[in-house]
Chains A and B, each alone.
Chain A
Amino acid sequence: MTVATLVRAGGGARLDGVLSIDRPIIDAIVAHARRDHPDEACGVVAGPAGSDTPSRHIPMANAARSMTFYEFDSMEHLRLWREMDDRDEEPVVIYHSHTATEAYPSRTDVSLAGEPGAHYLLVSTREPDTEEIRSYRIVDGVVTEEPVRIVDAAVDPNAVQSYMFGQSPATVDYECSDR
């Protein structure tokens, strides 16, 4: 990915063209995806409304229990959305796994994407030893990939950000730390 992607992704309302997310949350998402493999896993990372900061990880059940499809249970969905409303939160990240294909939105993902304000995070678990983690905005059927900046809470986040700035996003950020 290039700087051009950053610029393009920055055209939206409150988008800054990157998903910044704490490492413990990414680790929990990956663990969830591995646990449910070969079925697809899905969930939400909620954050304070308007903050664009994912802070509360909520793994959801895949009501479809499928290797090629995921769907929130409708009642669990309502409960979580109510809870976020009560806490003045919003779904900053909506994630799911692809278990045999790349971490890129399928036509199904695009046609069903109903939260234009969310980062759609995809994790591929097709390789047993490495995960592919990528993030997208999906608005009106248009997919825009954005870098994923994984923030290590154990060190000065500013230092991490400046170090990571300009790096190839997503894969590099993740793989560097994982090895």
Chain B
Amino acid sequence: MAIEVRIPTILRSYTGGAKIVEGAGDTVADLLADLDSRHAGLRGRLVTDAGVLHRFVNVYVNDEDVRFLGALDAKLNDGDSITILPAVAGGAFGFAAAAAIASHTVATRAAAAR
């Protein structure tokens, strides 16, 4: 099953400079594992140690943000097109700490729910 994945500039060091790579998988999580087998380290830039999608990475399946499709559990089909974009975000101060706390809280809740 071939799925086209568009890689942003900042992650092309993992793909030998390639802007588009192909992968396979029934879900986004499977696809990222497959990509990581050929582009080692890529998955680690997208998924946190807690196993959730990084707060400031956007992954799209065709025209949809995967956060609205079940995040890493989002189902994929042959011919889907995946786009990865680093979020454009920032700000005067304080948010880095808040984001770290928020992602920790989300990860803790997710772990508790399992």
Residues of A within 8 A of B (CB): 40, 42, 44, 60, 64, 66-72, 74-75, 77-78, 81, 94, 96, 98-101, 105-109, 111-117
Contacts and interface: CB of A to CB of B under 8 A. Distances in A.
Given A107-B96, A116-B10, A72 B89 contact: yes
Nearest to A116: B10
A77 B85 contact: yes
B56 A112 contact: yes
Contact of A70 (B60, B85, B89): B89
Interface string B3-30: 0000011100000000000000000000
A70 B91 contact: yes
Instruction: Sort A-B residue pairs by CB-CB distance and give the 7 closest, nearest first.
Output: A114-B86, A69-B91, A109-B90, A71-B89, A72-B88, A108-B96, A68-B92
Contacts of A68: 91-95
A115 B85 CA distance: 9
Given A44-B88, A69-B90, A116-B10, 12 more contacts: A42-B88, A69-B94, A74-B60, A74-B65, A74-B87, A78-B60, A94-B88, A101-B92, A108-B95, A112-B56, A112-B89, A114-B88
A75 B86 contact: no
Contacts of A40: 91-92
Contacts of B58: 74, 77-78
Main secondary structure on chain A at its contact with chain B?
A: mixed
B103 interface: no
Contacts of B8: 114-115
Nearest to B94: A68
B93 A108 contact: yes
B93 to A, nearest CB: 5
Contacts of B63: 78
A71 B92 contact: no
Contacts of A116: 9-10
A156 to B, nearest CB: 35
B104 interface: no
19 contacts: A40-B92, A64-B89, A68-B92, A68-B93, A69-B91, A70-B90, A77-B88, A98-B91, A100-B92, A101-B92, A106-B92, A107-B93, A108-B90, A108-B92, A108-B94, A112-B87, A112-B90, A114-B56, A114-B85
B85 A64 contact: no
Nearest to B12: A116
A101 B89 CA distance: 17
Contacts of B85: 77-78, 81, 114
